[in-house]
Amino acid sequence: MVRISRAGRQKAGDRPLRRRWSTATAVLGALAAFSTGLTPQAAAADWQSKQWYLDAMQAEKMWKASTGEGIKIAVIDSGVNAETPSLKGQVLTDEIPAPHNYAATQDYDSHGTNMAEIIAGTGAGGGVKGLAPDAKIIPIRISFGTLKDKTEKAKAPSVIEAIKAAADSDAKIINMSFTAELPTFQEDEAVAYAHSKGKLLFAGVGNDALGKGYSAETIGYPASYPYVVGVAAADESGTVGRFSENGWYVDVAAPGLDVPGWCDASFRSYCMREGTSAATAVASASAALIWSAHPDWTANQVMSALIDTASRDWPKDVPSKYLGYGLLRPRLVLADADYKPAPPDADPLHRENAGGKAPSPEPSPSEEKKDGADPAHAPGGENATSATEAADSGDDLLWPVAGGAVAALVIGGGAVVLLRKRRTG
């Protein structure tokens, strides 16, 4: 049996009503304020101030050019609670026909709601604000391990059905913050069908790097399918999470550590969370911002622009096993009124998409290492770039790094708990 699973969780050691700092990794601890009502309420704390990535990615500047208006994102997940303060008016409940729309707004463990808020939350009531706050969410609920009711499981669409339903909808982007251990031919076909319909698909690469070992180069599905963009998770310093799985299916990286989200399905409080699920949602929102500003572009052109402007200190045509083509910086596309897109039919991930796993590219002399690892971005890699060095070289970092801290190109801390059904953050 193929196991679909997730690793999204409250950060280890975090507790409500406490805040802790780790100066080594700039980690925010949990600060959860409880509400007593029976309906979802935003926590009393201003959780947008905990969304470090909004400042880091210069969201306020980007929103002057684009807020994601006109873009719909299908969130295939545990369902999306449309009644949280941040999601009221943001969730489209009539876009997917029955039976695949079953209980789409009944989120059984908060994961799908968290992804939707990261993408398109309005921030109302002090809740999480999405990177693309005027985009809209199309929810499709599938069954993960936390859905215990057998009847509910039977009514939930399969991943295959969910992808096809999203492909037939008006969504331009499909967000899949989950992984499975094994591929299936039918899922591969469903992904190819969505691609043929002009959709841009994002999936988390998974959170089990520590469990499998850095040499395993094993990334789950659907991130490993052709035409799916595999997203790794980075923290506030630009450091890729140590849990974030690696290999040649990693296409890009985005913020995924110390991201606030609902603690559980009671929707009473927020907690700090981590994982490639959140990074996937940030990537989907990044694409929505660009597509909203350039509605006549194709999925290939949007993705090409994201890759072209990603932060990296290695050759563009030599992707890293840990960061892929780099850390996403959609603001560089939005800020350039004269930006020239790639040809509409040019696949920016043609090597990966041509036949499944792309062969490892020939390393440049600076990247060669006897054990065959990816030295620039492996644990303890020596090619980390400081903010000062980047400024001297004219590089525009993914996000500002306070105090000239090491930026973007080494593997950082983090831990995950594997569940039978694992979402990626």
CATH number of the domain that 116 lies in?
3.40.50.200
**Which residues fall within 8 angstroms of residue 160, CB to CB, at 6 or more apart?**
184, 186, 187, 189, 190
Confidence class for position 10, pLDDT limits 50, 70, 90: low
Residue 249: which domain range?
4-354
Q: Per the structure, how many domains does the chain have?
A: 1
The verdict on residue 375 lying in a domain is no
Confidence class for position 239, pLDDT limits 50, 70, 90: confident
The verdict on residue 391 lying in a domain is no
pLDDT of 388 strictly over 70 = no
Rg (CA), the chain: 19
The verdict on residue 283 lying in a domain is yes
For residues 299 and 5, the model is more confident at: 299
Segment 192-221 shows an average pLDDT of 85
User: Which residue matches tokens 């849990």?
Assistant: 243
Weakest mean pLDDT among 14-23, 142-151, 216-225, 291-300 = 14-23
CA–CA separation, 293 and 277 (whole Å): 25
CB distance 242 to 209 below 8 Å = yes
The verdict on residue 20 lying in a domain is yes
Given the residues 86, 143, 277, 320, the one annotated as active site: 277
Given the residues 14, 77, 188, 235, the one annotated as active site: 77
CA–CA separation, 333 and 302 (whole Å): 10
Say whether 77 is catalytic: yes
Confidence class for position 415, pLDDT limits 50, 70, 90: very low
Weakest mean pLDDT among 140-154, 289-303, 369-383 = 369-383
Segment 131-142 shows an average pLDDT of 98
CA–CA separation, 148 and 382 (whole Å): 46
CA distance between the termini of the chain = 22
For residues 359 and 162, the model is more confident at: 162
Say whether 111 is catalytic: yes
Confidence class for position 220, pLDDT limits 50, 70, 90: confident
3-state secondary structure (DSSP) of residue 378: coil
| Residues paired with residue 240 on neighbouring β-strands, in sequence order | 234, 411
Which tokens in the block code for residue 136?
């809209």
Whether residue 363 is preceded by a cis peptide bond, meaning omega within 30 degrees of 0, is no
The verdict on residue 229 lying in a domain is yes
Report the side by side order of strands in the sheet with 270-274.
Answer: 9-10, 270-274, 259-262
Average pLDDT, the chain: 78
Say whether 169 is catalytic: no
User: Which residue matches tokens 């059984």?
Assistant: 108
324 vs 141, 169, 217, 307, CA distance in Å? 29, 29, 13, 9
Beta-carbon count within 10 A of 368 CB:
10
| pLDDT of the residue at 212 | 63
Segment 91-101 shows an average pLDDT of 95
Given the residues 100, 111, 195, 377, the one annotated as active site: 111
The verdict on residue 421 lying in a domain is no
The verdict on residue 394 lying in a domain is no
User: Which residue matches tokens 């043609």?
Assistant: 350
| pLDDT of the residue at 181 | 84
Phi, psi angle pair for 191, to nearest 5°: -65, -45
In the chain, pLDDT over 70 holds for what percent of residues?
A: 71
Q: For the purposes of burial, counting CB atoms within 10 Å of the CB of 61, is it exposed (0-12), middle (13-18) or buried (19 or more)?
A: exposed
The model's pLDDT over 304-355, given as tens digits with 9 standing for 90+, comes to: 999 999 999 888 888 999 999 999 999 999 999 999 999 999 999 998 887 5
The verdict on residue 22 lying in a domain is yes
Confidence class for position 5, pLDDT limits 50, 70, 90: low
CA–CA separation, 341 and 305 (whole Å): 7
Weakest mean pLDDT among 58-72, 166-180, 396-410 = 396-410
CA–CA separation, 172 and 293 (whole Å): 14
Q: Which amino acid is present at 240?
A: V
